[in-house]
Amino acid sequence: MPFCGDNVINHFACEILAVLRLACADISINVISMAVGNVIFLGVPVLCIFVSYLFILITILRIPSADGRKKAFSTCSSHLTVVMIFYGTLLFMYAKPKSKESQGTDEEELSDKLIPLFYGVVTPMLNPIIYSLRNKDVKAAVRDLGSQKCFAP
């Protein structure tokens, strides 16, 4: 693919959308292949996760005790939070329609830089934090930290 200009990607990582912006040739085939890839690698897993959580929800609602339902929802909520953050940012980045008149604006360029940073760095950092908050000792430590007088005004 021929590229225009100085071939400098103004991004934190070599993101495919930033590379395609540098192309001088027709990128319609690339856009079509990205759309097919989005369906296969984003749409299918999200659909499978949604269907599996639907079955999990039905199973949880059949648990007779309220305490058992609460514990089951607590177990699933941490995983679902991480999945929603990860796939939500991916879908927002790669499935959003690109309008020609808004390309190149400062807001769009900033969001195109920060969103990949979010799913590439923030989500993996949040993963252990979210799962560790299910630990009783960690919850107690966070409560103690929040109740200390040094944080009070």
User: pLDDT per position in the chain (153 positions), as tens?
Assistant: 788 777 777 777 777 877 888 888 888 898 888 889 888 988 899 899 999 999 999 999 999 999 888 888 877 887 888 888 888 888 887 776 554 444 556 666 777 778 877 778 888 888 787 777 767 777 787 778 777 755 555
* Residue 30 identity: N
Give the contacts of 131 (CB within 8 A, at least 6 positions apart): 78, 82
Asked if 109 and 10 touch (Cβ cutoff 8 Å), the reply is yes
* pTM of the full structure: 0.66
